[in-house]
């Protein structure tokens, strides 16, 4: 979330009334995140979230995303529920953008996750995978190996400003990943971006999951790899055995992993690191100074990729056993 | 296993007959391992193992070790069964040493474990913990923090020959571990030495667990930490997320880990690395050239300790979350 499109209280109030809520007594910009513009709408009853979908979201994908939220919330998953307007639509135009009004979720994101949070997130990810299994719509993942290549190309040689030679290194790395990428692992709807800022806790209890705008059909264990990278490294980019153990134990409690999925984890984690490196690199090299958003550091994901790659390189001499 | 005490076929045959087997048509030294002297006894029926207990094993502990093997094998755990002689004893003297005759287990140790082996070992470790829970005897672990200190002291400043300053570093590290060592985690009988050379596989199937001569009552998750260090690092001393995931998933399938146990894993892994560093350092600095045994490299465990310590140091700034 961020604010790219300005909306004042009067405009928010008019828009919200179309969705059966209001009057809106306050419309406050939410600065966290990097994708869309979000406002917290205060009304006499419950608060709501107003989201204006910015340019990285394809309007044609909105029915998939918002339908998924309806599907999951009907199954008891604590995710935002999109309201419908008088025309029965979850999306309408506001300030030149597609926009939606969503229920507000209680709780707070944790910036320093511990094993309790990791266990809860792992479990919730498996619940998402299970409950979305019969969601009838589908959407190919734009951020799979082919998509990573597109984003990396769009950044030109910007990576060289971060570290000399990094552009060539990441291009070679991407091609190696694309060649080895698994084709036979269980697939389904993934969240694709389940970072700590997209999960809310009320004390120990996981109270909300937000930001489904990277959801797509892909390898389920790839979603787990995204979470390992996002939740299980410490400030010094060391993988923590306690957090990864908790995350995987929580996940397996709901959906036991197949041996092939576990076997693929180092490769999937390396790919997940690439996926966030390429979009962070693009944002870092393209974010205008006027936006109320701080680009995230691409190098964090370069370092995570190196760790997973080191482990994988070790594997080459380890595979045959006697 | 190794050979410190020589036994010829005639002596082995006389001894074995006391245990109701024989004639022994071959008595072959087994060179793997570093603790006791072991021979493979060939007879017309099944092969057996002859073990002579060497100086690191306290003869007073033998009833605990051999009774545990009887207890576990009666529960279906694939471990060696000690035979009884005509006096009903599992131990008798041979070549000046306490000695036992044990059933031979099929299968081979793996030197390059993959996720299948790690999953099977994790599961077997939990089975051991569960099945040994009602074993009536007990034995304090001589290789807990106090014992580590004794072994480190016995090596004097030998570590400095491996790396200047290492003696002082490991002493300080040992005291830090002793101060923080958990006191409230679930305890029970641990194997204490479940390395790849002590586990046999017949294809994918785990066919045997041997070498229970470090078994003791201690923190159950410490046994898991020993296994993480022994099974889940690659040749370059990188922790592999796939192997640790498989090991922990296998374990949790039988005995789910408590949150406190998962939380303690980095510290327990660091302690498990210290435990093997101190005994390897002692062996490295004291093994006579005449023994048919190659001392294992203490520095492997120094490197593993550093990795776990790095993660823990990161934790200091991570513990409170907002």
Q: What is the DSSP string of A199-224?
A: EEEETTEEEEE---TT-EEEEHHHHH
CA–CA separation, B314 vs A237, rounded Å?
9
Q: Burial, B322: exposed, middle or buried (Cβ in 10 Å; 0-12, 13-18, 19+)?
A: exposed
CB B271 within 8 A of CB B225: yes
CA B243, CA A131: separation in Å to the nearest integer?
Answer: 28
Band (pLDDT 50/70/90 cuts) for residue A55 is confident
Structure-model confidence comparison of residues A313 and A275, the more confident one: A275
**A311, A312, A317: best to mutate for the B interface, most B CBs within 10 A:** A311
| Chain segment A206-241, per-residue pLDDT in tens | 999 999 999 999 999 999 999 999 999 988 888 899
Compute the distance between CA of residue B127 and CA of residue B129 in angstroms, rounded to an integer.
5
φ, ψ of residue A12 in degrees (nearest 5): -65, -40
Q: Could A269 and B308 be called an inter-chain contact, meaning their C-beta atoms sit closer than 8 Å?
A: no
What does the pLDDT average to over B144-164? Answer: 95
- Please give the share of chain B, as a percent, with pLDDT higher than 70: 93
Q: How far is B319 from chain A (nearest CA, A)?
A: 7
- Going B321 to B259 to B186 to B146, the CA torsion angle's sign is negative
Check CB contact of B32 with chain A, cutoff 8 Å. Answer: no
Identify the closest residue of chain A to B247 by CA–CA distance.
A245
Residue among A108, A115, A235 minimizing CB distance to B262: A115
The kind and range of the H/E element at A299 are helix A298-316
Query: In the predicted model, what is the mean pLDDT of residues B209-228?
Result: 97
Which pLDDT tens digit goes with each residue over B177-206? 999 999 999 999 999 999 999 999 998 899
CA A19 to chain centre: 27
Q: What is the pLDDT of residue A235?
A: 82
For residue A322, what pLDDT is reported? 26
Kindly indicate the confidence band of residue B112, based on its pLDDT and cuts at 50, 70 and 90: confident
pLDDT tens by residue, A158-180: 999 999 999 999 999 999 999 99
The predicted-structure confidence for A136-165, as pLDDT tens digits, reads as follows: 999 999 999 999 999 999 999 999 999 999
Q: ipTM beyond 0.85?
A: no
Closest CA to B119 of B14, B223, B316, B253: B253
Q: For B128-140, how does the pLDDT look when each residue is reduced to its tens digit (9 = 90+)?
A: 999 999 999 999 9
Look up tokens 């005639």; give the residue. B10
Measured between CB atoms, which of B240, B310, B321 is closest to A238? B310
B31 pLDDT above the threshold of 90: no
Look at B279 and A33; give whichever has higher pLDDT.
Answer: B279
Contact A34/B at CB under 8 A: no
A317 touches chain B (CB under 8 A): yes
Which run of H or E residues covers position B71? helix B62-74
Residue A291 pLDDT grade (very low, low, confident, very high; cuts 50, 70, 90): low
Q: How far is CA B306 from CA A260, A288, B162, B300, in A?
A: 30, 42, 15, 10
Task: Assign B239 a pLDDT band (cuts: 50, 70, 90).
Answer: confident
* DSSP per-residue letters across B145-169: HHHHHHHHHHTTTGGGGTSTTHHHH
What distance in Å separates the CA atoms of residue A225 and residue A233, rounded to the nearest whole number?
12
d(C-alpha B288, C-alpha B284), whole Å: 9
Alpha-carbon distance of B25 to B28, in angstroms, equals: 10
Under the banding of pLDDT at 50, 70 and 90, the label for residue A45 is confident
End-to-end CA distance of chain B: 52
Chain B residues whose beta carbon lies within 8 Å of the beta carbon of residue A246: 259, 262
- Please give the structure tokens belonging to residue B73: 């094998």
Instruction: Measure the CA dihedral A214/A216/A219/A222, to 10°.
Output: 10
**Domains detected in chain A:** 9-103 (3.30.200.20), 115-312 (3.90.1200.10)
Chain centre distance of CA A9:
29
pLDDT of B87 over the 50 cut: yes
Cis-peptide into B241, omega within 30 deg = no
Give the pLDDT confidence of B240-276 residue by residue, as tens digits. 999 999 999 999 999 999 999 999 999 999 999 999 9
Give φ, ψ of A275 to 5 degrees. -55, -40
Q: Residue B221 in contact with residue B192, Cβ under 8 Å?
A: no
Q: What percent of chain A has pLDDT over 70?
A: 93
Give residue B290's pLDDT: 65
**Average pLDDT of the residues in B72-79:** 96
pLDDT tier at A38, thresholds 50, 70, 90? very high
Nearest CA-CA distance, residue B111 and chain A, Å? 6
Looking at residue A318, what is its pLDDT?
32
Is the pLDDT reported for residue A111 higher than 50?
A: yes
Beta strand pairing status for B216-219 and B187-190? Answer: antiparallel
- What's the pLDDT at B2? 63
Do A171 and A151 touch, CB atoms closer than 8 A?
no
The confidence band for A61, taking pLDDT boundaries of 50, 70 and 90, is very high
The answer to whether B318 contacts A265, with C-beta atoms less than 8 Å apart, is no
A314 and B238 within 8 Å at the Cβ level: the answer is yes
For residue B93, list its beta bridge partners.
B98
Q: Under 8 Å CB-to-CB from A315, ≥6 apart: which residues?
A: A266, B234, B240
Q: How much is the pLDDT for A31? A: 82
Considering only CB atoms, A262 lies closest to which of B242, B259, B265, namely B242
Contacts of A204 (CB under 8 A, 6+ apart): A116, A120
Residue B317, pLDDT score: 34
CA distance B194 to B227: 6
- pLDDT over 90, % of chain B: 82
What pLDDT does A317 receive?
34
Per CB-CB distance under 8 Å, the chain A contacts of B315 are 234, 240
- Specify the residue for token string 């001569």: B213
Name the percent of chain A lying above pLDDT 90. Answer: 82
Q: Determine the Cα–Cα distance for residues B10 and A316; give it in Å rounded to an integer.
A: 47
Which chain B residue's Cα is nearest to A251?
Answer: B249
pLDDT for B32 beyond 80: no
Q: Could you tell me if B126 lies within 8 Å of chain A, comparing CB atoms?
A: no
CB < 8 Å from B in window 226-255 of A: 228, 234-236, 238-242, 244-246, 248-249, 252
Detail the DSSP E strand segments found in chain B. 24-30, 37-43, 48-52, 92-94, 97-103, 187-190, 199-202, 205-209, 216-219
At B293 the pLDDT is 62
* 8 A C-beta contact, residue A117 and residue A242: no
């Amino acid at each position: 979330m961020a604010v790219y499109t300005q909306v004042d209280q009067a405009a928010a109030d008019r828009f919200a009334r179309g969705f059966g809520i209001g009057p809106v007594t306050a419309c406050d910009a939410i600065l966290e995140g990097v994708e869309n513009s979000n406002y917290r709408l205060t009304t006499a009853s419950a608060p709501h979230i107003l989201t204006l979908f910015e340019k990285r979201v394809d309007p044609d994908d909105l029915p998939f995303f918002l339908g998924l939220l309806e599907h999951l919330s009907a199954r008891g998953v604590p995710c935002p529920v999109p309201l419908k307007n008088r025309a029965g639509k979850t999306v309408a135009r506001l300030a030149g953008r597609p926009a939606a009004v969503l229920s507000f979720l209680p709780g707070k994101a944790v910036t320093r996750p511990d094993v309790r949070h990791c266990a809860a997130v792992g479990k919730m990810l498996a619940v998402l995978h299970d409950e979305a299994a019969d969601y009838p719509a589908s959407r190919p993942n734009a951020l799979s190996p082919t998509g990573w290549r597109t984003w990396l190309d769009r950044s030109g040689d910007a990576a060289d400003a971060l570290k000399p030679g990094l552009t060539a290194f990441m291009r070679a790395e991407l091609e190696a990943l694309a060649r080895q990428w698994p084709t036979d692992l269980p697939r389904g709807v993934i969240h694709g971006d389940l970072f700590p800022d997209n999960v809310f806790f009320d004390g120990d209890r996981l109270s909300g999951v937000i930001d489904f705008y990277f959801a797509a059909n892909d390898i389920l264990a790839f979603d787990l790899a995204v979470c390992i990278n996002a939740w299980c490294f410490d400030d010094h980019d060391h993988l923590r055995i306690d957090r990864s153990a908790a995350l995987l134990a929580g996940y397996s409690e709901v959906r036991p992993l197949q041996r092939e999925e576990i076997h693929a984890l180092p490769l999937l984690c390396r790919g997940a690191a690439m996926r966030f490196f390429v979009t962070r690199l693009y944002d870092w090299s393209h974010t205008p100074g006027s936006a109320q958003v701080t680009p995230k550091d691409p190098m964090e994901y370069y370092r995570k990729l190196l760790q997973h790659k080191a482990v994988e390189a070790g594997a080459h001499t380890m595979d045959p056993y006697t």
